[in-house]
Chains A and B, each alone.
Chain A
Amino acid sequence: MTLRVLLVGTLALILAGGLPLTKAQAAGEIFIPLLVYRTGPYAPNGIPIANGAADYFTLVNERDGGINGVKITFEECEDQYDTKQGVECYERLKAKSPVLVNPYSTGITYQLIPRAPVDKVVVHSMGYGMTASADGRWFPWVFNFPMTYWSQASAFVKYVALQEGGMDKLKGKKIAHIYHNSPYGKEANPTLEELARRHAFELTLLAVDHPGQEQKATWLQIRRLNPDWIYISGWGVMNQVAVKEAAAIGFKMDRVVGNWWTGTEVDVIPAGDAAKGYKSMNFNAPGAGFKVHQDINKFLYDKGKGAGRRDGIGEVLYNRMVVNAMLNVEAIRTAMTKYGNKPLTGEQVRWGFENLDITEKRLEELGMKGMMRPLRVTCDNHEGNGLAFVQQWDGKKWNIVSDWIEPIRDVVRPKLEAAAVDEAKKLNYTMRDCAKEK
C-alpha cells in the first residue's frame, strides 16, 4: 500500500464518519455538557443540582483519575430553566462533541429527544421528561431511569394503600392531585385516573397555573373537598406556596405528599415549623452521611475545589444529581467493558446506558450503599427497575419513613408502551427488535 493510498483511505474514512475523532477524544477525554440554572426564578432548585454534577465529575477526576483513566471534561451553560435557552446551550456545546446530556427540564428534554439520534447524544432525563420514552424499543437514545412519573404516581397510591391498611381500603377514599398546569404537572394524571378506576377512590384534579404564587382558589376547593390525601406535582415557588397553604388551612401535613420534585429543603423553608410532617416521594436518600460525601469533602472541599457551599452537601437535589452523575459515569464505564478504556462515541456510550447494571456491591464500592437501590437497564426498559420511598420533613431535615416501594408495574408498563407508540409515530420512528441487539 502506497502512502498516497493510505492517506486517501484515511481521509475517506474520516469523511464517512468512520473515525469521528472529536476535540475531547483527541485530548483523551470525555465531554459532558451541563445545562444549569444557577440564576432566575428556579435557581434555588438549580444550584444544588449544578453543584452535585460538578462535584461528582470532579471527584471522579481527582480521586480516580477519571473513568478508567479517561478524564471527564464538562462545561456549564446557564439556561435559567428556559426551554429556548436550554436548546441554545445544547446546540452551542454540541460543537464539543458530547456523548450524553442531562437536560434537567422536561421542556428541554422534549426538544432534545428528536435531536438525540441525529446528533448521537444520549439524553438521560432522570425521573422527568417524557414517560413514554422509557420504552427503549422506540426510543433507543433516551433514558429516564430509575423511575418515571407514572411509576412514581403508582408508588404514591401504593403508599396511601399501605397507610390505609391495604389496596381494598382505597375504596371511597378521596385523593386530590394538585399539579403544575404544564405537561410536567399533568404527567401523573392518566396513571392516577386509571388507578382511581381500578380501586374506586375518588380523584380530584386541581391545576395551578405557572408560577403558582397565588393558589387561594385551589386551597379553597381543598377545604370544601376535604380529601383524605393530597398529592402535589409542583416546581419552584408553587411548592413553597402549596406547603404553606396546606399548613395555613390546618390540613394534616402527614397526609400531604409531594412528588420527588416537590420535596426539597427549599420547599419547606418558608412555612417554617408549620411544614413539619410534610412528606414527599424520592428515589435517592437525603443527608450527607454516605461515604461518597466523605470523599467529596476530602478530595474537593478540603482542597477548595468544591462547586458550592459545604453545607449544601447532602441536600435532596444535590444528592439526586450526585446519583445522576454516578449513573452517567457507570454507564460510560459499562461501555468501556466492550469498547475499551478510551474516549468513547455517543453510540458506544448509548450501549453502556442500555447495559447498565448497578448492583448492591457496586453501590457499596461507590460509597453509595443505601443512597439508591440497585438498578438494571435493558434494551426495552429504559426506566429500569427503580423503586421509590417516602420521606418526611421533621422541621430540620428529611427522614425516610417508608420502605422502598415497588411501582404498580402491571398498570404502568402497558400504558407506557401504548404511549410510546403514539409518541414515536409523531417522530416517524420505527420499533427495533431488542432480541437482535446485544
Chain B
Amino acid sequence: MVDVVYAVLVAPFKDMAGSPAFLVEVLIGGVFAGLMYSLVALGFVLIFKASGVFNFAQGVMVLFAALTLVGLLERGVPVVLALALTTAVMVALAFAIERFVLRPLVNQEHIILFMATIGLNFFLEGFGEMLWGANVKKLDIGIPDRSFVVRGVQINELELTAAVTAALLVTLLAMFFQKTRIGRALRAVADDHEAALSIGIPLKTIWVVVWSVAGVVAIVAGLMWGAKSGVQFSLSLIALKALPVLILGGFESVPGAIVGGLIIGIGEKVGEVYWGPLVGGAIENWFAYVLALAFLLARPQGLFGEKIIERV
C-alpha cells in the first residue's frame, strides 16, 4: 500500500523535480497539442454558439477542407490560390448546408438538427473520398518540421507554427464576436432565434456566415493536422480529441476552447508521461475525458459556458 501511494503521489513529483528541463518539454508539448485540439474545438464552438447545434460533421469538415487543399496542390495550383479556392469551396458548402439542411429544418428541435449533421458527416466523408480518393496525401505548404533545442528543451517548428496560428485565429475570432456588428448578431441568434428574427437579424445570412467561418477554421485545422500526419480519412477522428476540450471549456466560448485545449493538452501529456507507466501507458485519451468530467462536476456548463437558468 505504501509503495502504491509512493508511486502515485511521490515518485512522479520527484521525477519532475529531478529533471526540470524535461518537465518543461512535456509542458510545452502539452501546450502545443492543446492548441491543436483547440483548433478543432473552435469549429464546434462557432456553430453551437450561433445555432445551438452540435455539429457532428466538424471533424469531417476538417478532413474535407484538407482534402480539397491537397487535391488542388497536387494538381499544380499555387499555395495561395489553392487556399483561396479551398476557402471558396468551404463557403459554397456553407451555402449548400444552409439551403438544403438547415432551412428545411428551421424551428425544429436541436436533436433533429444534430441528427442532420450526422447525415452531413457521412455524406461529406463519402463525397470527399469519391472526389479526392482514399490515399494518404503529403501536405507540404512550406512549414518546416525540424526541431531545435533551447536550453535542453526540444521544440518542433511545425508545432510552434500551429500554436502561433491557433493563438492568432482565436484572437481574431474573439474580436469578431465581441467587436463586430455581425458578431453581435451571431450571439443574438444563438440566444433566441425568434427574438433575433423579430429585430430584423437575417437568420439565413447568419447561418451561412457562421458555417463559412467554421469552414475557414476547418481549413486551418486541416492544414496543421494534415501537415502532422498526412491528409487521410483518419483526420475526421480528431473530433474525438476536441470533445473533452468542449466539455471543459464550454460549448459556446471561444476563449473556453483555448483554455480547455491547454488544460487538456497539458493534463494528458503530464498524465501520460508521469503516471501512464504505472498502469501500462496509453492513458492520455481517456485521461482527457476524466479530466473534463472532473471539471464538469464542479462547473456543469464548463469553465466558460453560460449558466442556463430557466423559469419553471
Contacts and interface: CB of A to CB of B under 8 A. Distances in A.
Interface of A: 38-41, 43-44, 47, 181, 205-209, 211, 213-214, 216-218, 220-221, 223-224, 236-237, 240-241, 244, 247-250, 266, 269-270, 272, 274
Interface centre among B29, B136, B137, B273 (most CB of A within 10 A): B136
Contacts of B36: 214
Contact of B136 (A217, A247, A250, A270): A270
Interface stretch (B45-53, B140-148, B167-175, B295-303): B140-148
A209 B129 contact: no
B143 to A, nearest CB: 12
A209 B282 contact: yes
B29 A240 contact: no
Contacts of B269: 216-217, 220
B281 A205 contact: yes
Give the one of A213, A218, A221, A244 with max B CB within 10 A. A213
Contacts of A218: 272, 281
Contacts of A217: 26, 29, 268-269, 272-273, 276, 284
Contacts of A181: 281-282
B147 A248 contact: yes
B291 to A, nearest CB: 14
A270 to B, nearest CB: 3
A249 B272 contact: no
B25 interface: yes
Contacts of B225: 213
Interface in B281-312: 281-282, 284-286
6 contacts: A47-B134, A205-B281, A221-B273, A223-B25, A237-B237, A269-B230
Contacts of A41: 232-234, 236-237
Contacts of A216: 29-30, 32-33, 269
A43 B129 contact: yes
Contact of B238 (A213, A221, A266, A270): A213
Contacts of B138: 269-270, 272
Contacts of B238: 213
Given A207-B281, A224-B22, A213 B241 contact: yes
Contacts of A38: 134
B165 interface: no
B233 A270 contact: no
Contacts of B32: 216
Contact of A274 (B129, B137, B145, B229): B145
Contacts of B136: 44, 240, 266, 269-270
Contacts of B161: none
Q: Could you say which of B19, B30, B146, B230 has the most chain A C-beta atoms within 10 Å of its C-beta?
A: B230
B158 to A, nearest CB: 7
B237 A213 contact: yes
B156 A248 contact: yes
B193 interface: no
A84 to B, nearest CB: 17
A248 B268 contact: no
Interface residues of B, number: 47
Interface string B9-44: 000000000010010011001101100100000000
Contact of B234 (A208, A211, A250): A211
A93 B75 CA distance: 40
Given A207-B282, A266-B232, 16 more contacts: A38-B134, A47-B134, A47-B135, A181-B281, A206-B281, A211-B237, A213-B228, A213-B234, A214-B241, A216-B269, A217-B272, A218-B272, A270-B136, A270-B138, A270-B228, A272-B138
Nearest to B238: A213
Nearest to B241: A214
Contacts of B280: 205, 207
B26 A220 contact: yes
A241 B26 CA distance: 18
A209 B19 CA distance: 26
B29 A237 contact: no
A220 B273 contact: yes
Contacts of A206: 281
A205 to B, nearest CB: 7
B30 to A, nearest CB: 8
Nearest to A80: B233
A40 B233 contact: yes
A207 B235 CA distance: 20
A353 B111 CA distance: 54
Contacts of A211: 234, 237
B6 to A, nearest CB: 21
Select the residue from A214, A237, A244, A250 with max chain B CB neighbours within 10 A: A214
A332 to B, nearest CB: 31
Contacts of A270: 136, 138-139, 228-230
Nearest to A247: B145
A244 B139 CA distance: 13
A270 B234 CA distance: 13
* Minimum-distance CB pairs A-B, first 6: A270-B230, A207-B282, A217-B272, A43-B134, A237-B234, A181-B282
A120 B29 CA distance: 53
Nearest to B280: A207
Contacts of A221: 273
B28 to A, nearest CB: 10
Contact of B33 (A39, A214, A237, A240): A214
Contacts of B30: 216
A206 B283 CA distance: 11
B22 A240 contact: no
Given A223-B25, A236-B234, A266-B136, A244 B154 contact: no
A403 B19 CA distance: 42
Nearest to B134: A43
Contact of A44 (B135, B236, B268): B135
A321 to B, nearest CB: 17
Contacts of B146: 248
B140 A237 contact: no
B282 A208 contact: yes
